[in-house]
Amino acid sequence: MNTKKVLFVALAGLIPLAGFAGPVKFRTEISPIGGITSSDIDGLGVRHDTSYGTYAEIIDGQGNYLGTLELGVEIDTKIGYVDVLGGFGGAVNGAWGGGLFLLDGGYRFKLNGPGTMTIGPFVGLVAAGDTEWETDEGGMIDMSGDSGAQVGVKFTWGWRHVSFLAKLGYMSFAYELEPEDQSLNWRYTRNGGDSWQTWGAGETVEADMSGFFGQFGVTLQF
Q: Give the count of beta carbons closer than 10 Å to the beta carbon of residue 13.
A: 12
| Each residue's pLDDT tens digit, 6-53 | 555 555 555 554 445 578 999 999 999 999 987 666 567 888 877 777
Tell me the whole-structure pTM to 2 decimals.
Answer: 0.82
pLDDT for residue 197: 86
Measured torsion, CA atoms of residues 104, 109, 112, 113, in degrees rounded to the nearest 10: 100
Distance of alpha carbon 190 from its chain centroid, rounded? 22
Tens-place pLDDT, residues 76-116: 998 999 999 999 999 988 777 889 999 999 999 999 988 89
Banded model confidence at residue 144, pLDDT cuts 50, 70, 90: very high
pLDDT at 18: 47
Is the pLDDT higher at 200 or at 113? 113
Q: 123 exposed, middle or buried (CB, 10 Å; 0-12, 13-18, 19+)?
A: buried
Domains of the chain: 3-221 (2.40.160.20)
Beta bridge partners of 117: 157
Looking at 15-29, 33-47, 57-71, 178-192, which range is the least confident one? 15-29
